[in-house]
């Protein structure tokens, strides 16, 4: 009779060990858990069309019991994450924002990707989706400066739109396909939903027209189909662009009606925030507050406008925001706080009677978000968290 095996590998684990392992697994946070929490807070669909958000590298099934946060994924940040034993790194700026065909280890970004993978660190980015979310990057910036985070500078439409357009019968399938691809016709568990009926269209091309059908100066009647559908309001611009591009007419007729009640301003999603300053003060005083409350950089903080102008209402846009100068000039605000401002746009803004502006370092206006994102993971998981205190602002010397 053979002797019982004494090889531990062949012996079943004691019931107490099995229970302990199961409990450990139940308490373990995975990369997928962190991703789910972050995407709930900063929904990916809020990201701009050009953006690249989400999980950049890493296995969703791997553990993420130690999560680090930073604004950028630089070599210094990755080295700090490794030193801290992080299993996941969450950043604001995507490492691979532009398309790449290779990530060799002897390239700047490839070097970082290889270093992350070799050290078992997953990488996740929440960028313009975190800018537009509520609360998000802009809410954190506004609150830090003592500004009530009200309406966005560029709201994202919410609710449902009802669309309608006409198109020649033979062209209807092509246009419908383009609209459905852009997000139209989605309702509940159904896609490509619409209804249509036959109509007769009429038009008179005038001098300068290039009609798809008919001739300049002659009334034309066409057998058309009227197509109606609903779509999320957030898809409005994408659907409009798809419709115009796919429609055979030079100037297609369409209508789009918002069917939902307006969202209160302080609940609207979108980039930027506008709100009241907690204590009215001069531009000089408010500039000093901005410099005091944002992380210090060599870039510093500078302002343009009358130093003695009183500031009551403030617009903020984290990161590069000079594209909003034209809009801010038309608004009833006393100051605009953003980053990466350029000479000519600011000069023209002031010449046209625009409000004073405050220019901060890009990194400084967004880095405070890291603590907000850390709070999301603290609340949603049992992971240990840390914000990496590495200044990734590229400017290193400032002389006045």
Give binding residues for a divalent metal cation as ranges: 92-93, 131, 362, 366
Residues 6+ positions from 85 with CB-CB distance below 8 Å: 66
- For residue 67, which of 32, 96, 113, 20 has the smallest C-alpha distance? 32
Helix and strand totals (H; E) in the chain: 13, 16
Buried residues in 361-373 as b, exposed as e (16+ CB within 10 A): bbbbbbbbbbebb
Rounded CA gap, 337 and 283, in Å? 11
DSSP 30: B
Binding residues: 92-93, 131, 362, 366
Rounded CA gap, 286 and 277, in Å? 9
Rounded CA gap, 251 and 293, in Å? 51
Q: How many other CB atoms are found less than 10 A from the CB of residue 329?
A: 16
Pairing of strands 160-168, 220-232: antiparallel
Q: Is 353 exposed, middle or buried (0-12, 13-18, 19+ CB in 10 A)?
A: exposed
Residues 6+ positions from 255 with CB-CB distance below 8 Å: 163, 164, 165
Per the structure block, which two tokens stand in for 84? 């801290």
Contact 61, 36 (CB under 8 A): no
Per the structure block, which two tokens stand in for 325? 């100068």
Rounded CA gap, 133 and 43, in Å? 7
Tokens 């999603």 — which residue?
Answer: 269
């Amino acid at each position: 009779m053979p002797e019982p095996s004494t090889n531990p590998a062949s012996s079943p684990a004691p019931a107490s060990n099995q229970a302990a392992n199961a409990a450990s697994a139940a308490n373990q946070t995975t990369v997928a858990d962190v991703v789910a929490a972050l995407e709930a807070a900063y929904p990916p669909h809020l990201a701009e069309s050009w953006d690249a958000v989400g999980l950049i590298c890493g296995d969703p099934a791997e553990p993420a019991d130690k999560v680090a946060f930073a604004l950028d994924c630089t070599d210094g940040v990755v080295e700090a994450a490794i030193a801290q034993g992080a299993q996941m790194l969450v950043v604001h700026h995507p490492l691979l924002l532009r398309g790449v065909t290779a990530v060799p280890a002897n390239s700047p970004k490839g070097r970082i990707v290889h270093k992350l993978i070799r050290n078992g660190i997953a990488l996740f980015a929440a960028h313009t989706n975190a800018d537009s979310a509520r609360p998000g990057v802009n809410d954190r910036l506004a609150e830090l400066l003592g500004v009530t985070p009200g309406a966005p500078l560029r709201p994202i439409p919410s609710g449902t739109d009802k669309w309608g357009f006409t198109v020649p019968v033979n062209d209807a399938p092509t246009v419908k396909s383009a609209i459905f691809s852009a997000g139209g016709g989605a309702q509940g568990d159904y896609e490509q939903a619409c209804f249509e009926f036959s109509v007769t269209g009429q038009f008179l091309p005038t001098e300068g027209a290039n009609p798809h059908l008919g001739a300049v100066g002659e009334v034309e009647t066409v057998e058309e189909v009227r197509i109606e559908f609903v779509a999320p309001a957030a898809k409005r611009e994408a659907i409009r662009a798809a419709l115009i591009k796919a429609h055979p007419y030079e100037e297609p007729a369409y209508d789009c009606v918002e069917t939902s009640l307006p969202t209160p301003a302080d609940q609207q999603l979108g980039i930027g925030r506008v709100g009241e300053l907690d204590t009215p003060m001069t531009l000089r005083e408010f500039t000093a507050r901005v410099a005091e409350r944002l992380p210090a950089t060599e870039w510093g903080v500078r302002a343009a406008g009358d130093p003695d102008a009183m500031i009551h209402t403030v617009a903020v846009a984290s990161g590069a925001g000079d594209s909003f100068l034209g809009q801010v000039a038309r608004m009833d605000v006393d100051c605009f706080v953003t980053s990466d401002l350029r000479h000519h746009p600011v000069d023209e803004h002031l010449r046209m009677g625009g409000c004073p502006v405050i220019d901060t370092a890009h990194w400084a206006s967004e880095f405070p978000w890291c603590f907000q994102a850390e709070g999301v993971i603290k609340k949603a998981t049992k992971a240990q968290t840390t914000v990496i205190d590495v200044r990734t602002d590229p400017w290193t010397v400032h002389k006045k």
